[in-house]
Chain A
Amino acid sequence: MNAVSKAKVAMYWAGSCGGCDISLLEIGPHLLELVAAADVVFWPCAADFKYHHVASYPDGYIDLCLFNGSVRNSEQERMARLLRQKSKTLVAYGACAISGGIPALANLATPEELFARSYTDCPSVDNPGGVLPRTETESLVGELEIPHFYPQVLRLSDIVEVDYLIPGCPPQATRVWEVCQAFLGGALPARAHEQLAGCTDKSVCDECTLEKRLVKISGFRRHHEAIPEPGWCLLEQGFVCLGAATRSGCGALCTKVNMPCRGCYGPSGEARDQGAAFIGALGSLLNAELEARAGELIDQIVDPAGTFYRFTMSDGDLKGHR
């Protein structure tokens, strides 16, 4: 980056809900500082850029590309490859890009099951002909082709080399701005290998102020079933809180308002597989001398795979169906 030409930044939205784009907007007034210091050269959500604009940039033209969303179809893969080619620094922004996020929960089902559910079986669908999406369609203007649907939800790093990971669903604005500042200040080396940014090395418990009483869990409850006792560790109260197995950086936002941590920042410390790490811890926290009792307790947890791997289904050892 030099004084003459401003830095070029990009933000792209692949397989995700859009919350990540909002989280970038959430840096608020800092957005003005960002655009003052850098040119936005691609951000489909905020400005009108087309594919051919990006394709026409020289390789490595973009200094910092924030890529949010998972890769579920051929268009997303194509964009991932294109942006990698055009960017000096490629960031997997948010849980979906890093580890599949919520969309990757679909990995527990096959594409056929997903299509059946979405286009025929769902009670609110009226599709007497059983029409399913097709990749090629004849239309008045000729044959149209829409992107191919992949059998699995993939991470950005399954497709291309990724330099940085900014975790969160979505990443917290204050943390995002810290990373932007580091970038603008030249403190972020252009190339890295999946290095975490915008978070800490510790787990959410580090920032959480609820008190541990060192009692074992005697039963599980969901947060619509009971009101937690204020001030007391939610997990010990039987609310499945993934805080202990989740990287911190969010400021323990959820547990501050008595909501159990859902695990959106991904595995903490040196754990690779967040679900397995949490299960390992949970097993030792149950108030159960006998295996049968432990089994009864675990049976109280609704949708364990979706709960423990809510944001990391593409990442962990449990890669969904195969």
Chain B
Amino acid sequence: MNDAASGARIGVFICHCGGNISDVVDVKRVAEEVGKLPGVVLSTTHMFICSDPGQALVESVIKEHALDRVIVAACSPTLHQMTFRRAIERAGLNQFLFEHVNVREQVSWVTEDPVGATAKATRLVSAAVHRARHLVALDKRRIAIQPAALVIGGGVAGLVAARDLAQRGMKVTLVENRPFLGGRMAQLETVFPTGEKARDLLAPLIEEVVSHKLITVMTNAQVVNSEGVVGDFRTRIRVTPRGVNERLAYRGNAIAACPEETVNEFDFGLSKRKAIYMAYPGCWPPMPAIDWHTCTKCGKCVWAVGGKGIELDAEPREVEVRAGVIVLATGYDPYEPLYGEYGYGIFPRVITLQQLIRYLDPEGPTGGQLPLDGASKPRIGFIYCVGARQIEGVNQRQPDGKVKDYCARTCCTGALHAALTIKDHHPDATIYNLYQDVRTYGRGHEAYYERASESGALFLRFDPRHPPRVEKNPRGDSPVVVQVQDLLTDRLDVELPLDLLVLATGVVPHDISELVGMYRCAVGYDSFLLEVHPKLRPVELAVSGVFLAGCCQGPMDITEAAGAASAAASKAAALIAQGQVEMDPFTARVNEALCTGCQTCLGVCPYTAITRDPVKRIANVNQALCTGCGTCAAACPSKAIEQAGFTDAQVLSEVYALLADRSGAVTA
């Protein structure tokens, strides 16, 4: 082992943290005990070692005593490790000849026992001394950043992120796996809180994106594989052929000629579409696409357009995109109620809010007509929080074994907005809102609640542990009847015959398990992607260089999704602007003399950083790809891989010191 073990000159600094540590830990005592260890040249305490005078002390002591290792026992390394690394570097020492010991969060804050705390602190710092003897100087890795971004998902969030990045001069590739851009927003009719038409808002944004010369848009495109790390992600993208090209002149003829029909997912099953289809009026790209699952390649569309513009035999192609940063904007899916949940699936007049919005859309499946079976004074009910804020033990578990216990945030205002739209068309309709809480939290959202109340809509509040029951109407004067106990009238049992029941369904993350694996994303309990910190680093994933935009991170309305997308774009652009990333040097290195080329390590590296050198017949670690996870070092049966910063000598000396008997005698 090439550790510089002997002859170390170690300086130890123990922080009072203004009493945070010293009120429990006898820091003077710790300094004294540790000061007796061989190699410790100086061991002292300081009131606030992270303060300017504290850092200055560290620097001057290093020079004065010619220290070559420094140990600071203080707060958590996440807080101040960098502070001290920089300080010792200013004093001319390599920053990795430093050990940080946490005696606050892991000692003084977790006990009131001063004797035990002092003993534990002493032991931790002693272990650091043993480890420090084996530290060696290391150099940071520097990786140049590709000035390009890959945005995955072409909903409003992905579109905004792509536009903002391009506006900052970055090259952007936008990948959408459906044949058309726009995401879920395109399926909305008018949007709260402005009342503008969703697709009217989308159109100029899409136009801006597709016409920007720095943006390449790929639709029908799936990410199949990704290699590399921040600065240089290499992503393989498979583009499924559209089946249609620009030369198609009579698209209406082609669609009309197609004999194959399938459920139209854009209308949530309320209508059918052909195998060759356009998703929605004004969609981009403005030409049809062929759905290969439905198409039988009968050739009728080709014949109908005179053979021009349709390619039934085009092959998928794969391209590699190199990008310095990745923005994930893969959005959400509406919650699909379980069969029988509030009568869903049993009664055709029980529909979801998403379906209601499609019905209300003048360009939708019914031209804006609701399925009221001719009822003159329609009675329409809404049940809120369906597939949201569920309670373990009350609600049935979802297929993933969990209940959806989070608030979906868009359904309250969305449902009220829809209810008001209904009122506009059917002033004589009676609207019943069966809710747990009305959470019109956003700016301008409360107005929907007020207006709904004023419009005469009725509000009945139910206890989530006793949700409403939906049954067939025995009298037959309406398709369904809902029984609900109303908390607002002291638990009066109310029976509501309804012509239409709308389930204000929540949202779930779109299934991106393959991307989660590829980019090693953190996922929260609610299955949405998890940011590093909700307040301080809200649009970053823990994987460096990967950012979050929109509803892949949790339920958001368009305002929030677009805001998050802009934030992600500016964080990503700021990273690219640095030109290079610095990375810790704790990578795996193969000892060529010991490696046999058994290839055990090849399969274990989660980052595909290891390849086999065919000439030397041994393993080789790509230092740019290695994240220092240490898996290979553990797997190598010959211990031929050493991880810088975590060598056997370093780790074992620390472990032995921690396990040493109370007299302080250690075995290594």
Contacts and interface: CB of A to CB of B under 8 A. Distances in A.
User: Real complex partners, A and B?
Assistant: yes
Interface of A: 201-206, 212, 214, 216, 243-245, 248, 268-271, 277-278, 280-281, 283-285
Contacts of A271: 637-639
A243 B638 CA distance: 10
A285 B591 CA distance: 21
A225 B248 CA distance: 64
Contacts of B205: none
B598 interface: yes
A269 B594 contact: yes
B604 A284 contact: yes
A284 B640 contact: no
Contacts of B598: 203, 205, 212, 243-244, 281
Nearest to B636: A281
Nearest to A246: B637
Nearest to A247: B638
13 contacts: A201-B594, A203-B638, A214-B603, A248-B596, A269-B594, A269-B636, A270-B648, A271-B639, A277-B637, A278-B637, A281-B598, A284-B600, A284-B603
Contacts of A270: 1, 591, 594, 638-640, 648
Contacts of A284: 600-601, 603-604, 631, 634-635
B593 interface: yes
Interface residues of B, number: 23
B602 interface: yes
Interface in B549-570: none
B603 A268 contact: no
A204 B636 CA distance: 14
B658 to A, nearest CB: 17
B603 A285 contact: yes
Nearest to B635: A284
Contact of B638 (A216, A268, A285): A268
B597 interface: yes
B369 interface: no
Nearest to B617: A206
Nearest 5 interchain pairs by C-beta: A269-B638, A245-B637, A205-B598, A269-B594, A270-B639
Interface in B175-191: none
A206 B596 contact: yes
Contacts of B594: 201-202, 268-270
Contacts of B631: 284
Given A268-B637, A269-B639, A285 B600 contact: yes
Contacts of A205: 596-598
B264 interface: no
A202 B637 contact: no
Contacts of A278: 637
B244 to A, nearest CB: 40
B599 interface: yes
A269 B635 CA distance: 13
Interface string B461-483: 00000000000000000000000
A212 B599 CA distance: 8
A268 to B, nearest CB: 4
A70 to B, nearest CB: 24
A280 B648 CA distance: 15
Interface in B576-606: 591, 593-604
Contacts of B599: 212, 214
Contacts of A206: 596-597
B597 A269 contact: no
B64 to A, nearest CB: 38
A244 B619 CA distance: 13
